[in-house]
Chains A and B, each alone.
Chain A
Amino acid sequence: NAGVMQNPRHLVRRRGQEARLRCSPMKGHSHVYWYRQLPEEGLKFMVYLQKENIIDESGMPKERFSAEFPKEGPSILRIQQVVRGDSAAYFCASSPRQTNTGELFFGEGSRLTVL
């Protein structure tokens, strides 16, 4: 059973460009969570989605950031007009149900560098 798959693993963008990060949850999981990790810091919650629905986006910046989890295909975290402060590792986690427990499985992350 493949784990949570994230791609790209590394992404370099110039200021003002767009970044798209993809997350395929574990098989059978329909709940996806996105977290951001700045260097030498802990992870910070961004958004929680179920298929076709955003359940909790309380951690998402109000501008430039959006997330979706369509009926078919991976979840996408989209960052428009990136700035240097967006440089971070973005982690996706999935679960078979709504949870904040050890049933949450994390991917290996996508590392965004903004030049």
Chain B
Amino acid sequence: GESVGLHLPTLSVQEGDNSIINCAYSNSASDYFIWYKQESGKGPQFIIDIRSNMDKRQGQRVTVLLNKTVKHLSLQIAATQPGDSAVYFCAETSTGANNLFFGTGTRLTVIP
């Protein structure tokens, strides 16, 4: 599979600030993207997804932005809380595929 990479391997933010985690993908055939949160010792937990026919999707305190022109994906977390501390992965796939391609992850640390 093609690589899914993240610009920042670590990110530290103050509690209450907004966080932005970035992801670059290279497979132009990918049409579906997911952000996962993985806490230490646990499995990935779905946060939010977006299809390639959209450029923005909002959830509770989270927003995903997709820029297909530059193959870039970002996750914005509003009012970051200590419980948001985790490793965040973007994953890409395409319709009909059986598997997800995961990036290497960004470790988010929230400073109280």
A: residues with CB less than 8 A from B are 4, 33, 35, 40-45, 48, 55-56, 58-59, 91, 93, 98, 100-102, 104-109
Contacts and interface: CB of A to CB of B under 8 A. Distances in A.
Nearest to B9: A40
B18 to A, nearest CB: 23
Interface in B1-18: 4
A89 to B, nearest CB: 9
B34 interface: yes
A98 B95 CA distance: 11
A10 to B, nearest CB: 10
A101 B34 CA distance: 8
B44 A91 contact: yes
A100 B93 contact: yes
B98 interface: yes
